Amino acid sequence: MGVLALRYAVVAYMVVFLVVTTWPGVLLFNKVRPLVFGLPFNLFFIALIIVGALCLLVALYRSEQRSGEE
């Protein structure tokens, strides 16, 4: 995957991140049950998408380092 395509993927993910973590998107995941790893479902879901954002940003950083862009 090229740097430009990865940048577009990160932007798209961040837009989805914004929508599902603010109202009304959070209403889809606003449940206490089921507990996942001892966390309420909505807290687990938010932690999961934060980890996903971290992975994408690390991939973008490494991709840009390999291509020599600053």
Q: What is the pLDDT of residues 4-62, one digit of tens each?
A: 999 999 999 999 999 999 988 888 888 888 999 999 999 999 999 999 999 999 999 99
Q: What is the identity of the amino acid at 18?
A: L
* Residue 66, SS3 per DSSP: helix
Instruction: Show the domain range for 15.
Output: 3-67
Cis peptide leading into 40, omega within 30 of 0?
Answer: no
How many structural domains comprise the chain? Answer: 1
pLDDT of residue 70: 54
Q: Which of 64, 59, 56 is nearest to 11 (CA)?
A: 56
Q: Can you tell me the distance from the alpha carbon of 12 to that of 33, in angstroms, rounded to the nearest whole number?
A: 29
